[in-house]
Amino acid sequence: MGKRNFQGKYKMGPKLSRHAEAEFGPGKTDIIICPEGNEVYYHKSWHHNLRRYPHLKETKPINFKLCPFHQMKKNRQWEGEIRISDVPEKYRERVLQTAENVSREAYRRDPMDRILNIKTTKEEIIIYTSENQLAQKIARKITASFKNNFLRPKISRAKGSDAVLIVIEFGGKL
């Protein structure tokens, strides 16, 4: 039995929340390639490449446009900010490596989930992420990796947007 195409108010595919529809707009039907990276948009979402696209033909229209990740990077926007303060110098590399590992795993699942930027000063490490869920995941992993050494993370959400600020303070001995 073949697929049925519904017209009008019946849409095929998963139902998006009103927030997701407002954030990304309706899905596009053609292929979009990000000129900054390898990301490709098809079937209403971003993918790592065209390997799994079954209907690729030379006549299919292809457009070039920045993906949401590179657009955020260009505009210096972010959805997640993690501020880690008072980390001893000898553990900074391990904290940064933990954050990079969580980001790498998230990128493997979704090409839009990545760390945008990392700023380090003597007093603190600031990590900017493209997704607020990724920031929360990184914060949880860092506090779990250094048990009893970090105080409980303080999470602040911006009113009217998805942005999240997570503050973690080093408060223990290793």
Q: What is the pLDDT of residue 20?
A: 53
Least confident of 120-124, 128-132, 161-165, 169-173: 169-173
Q: Is the pLDDT of residue 90 over 90?
A: no
Q: What is the pLDDT of residue 14?
A: 52
Which residues, including other chains, have CB under 8 Å from residue 141's CB and lie 6 or more apart?
98, 99, 101, 102
Which residues, including other chains, have CB under 8 Å from residue 28's CB and lie 6 or more apart?
41, 44
Tens of pLDDT, residues 11-65: 554 555 555 555 556 666 688 999 999 899 988 889 998 877 777 777 778 899 9
The span from the CA of 82 to the CA of 118, in Å, is 10
Q: What is the pLDDT of residue 39?
A: 93
Tens of pLDDT, residues 121-133: 999 999 999 999 9
- pLDDT band for 77, please (50, 70, 90 cuts): very high
Average pLDDT over residues 129-156: 92
- pLDDT band for 136, please (50, 70, 90 cuts): very high
Q: Which domains does the chain have, with CATH numbers?
A: 18-65 (no CATH), 78-169 (3.30.70)
The span from the CA of 150 to the CA of 138, in Å, is 13
Q: What is the pLDDT of residue 135?
A: 97
Q: What is the pLDDT of residue 16?
A: 55
Q: Is 48 helix (H, G, I), strand (E, B) or coil?
A: coil
pLDDT-above-90 percentage for the chain? 57
The span from the CA of 27 to the CA of 109, in Å, is 20
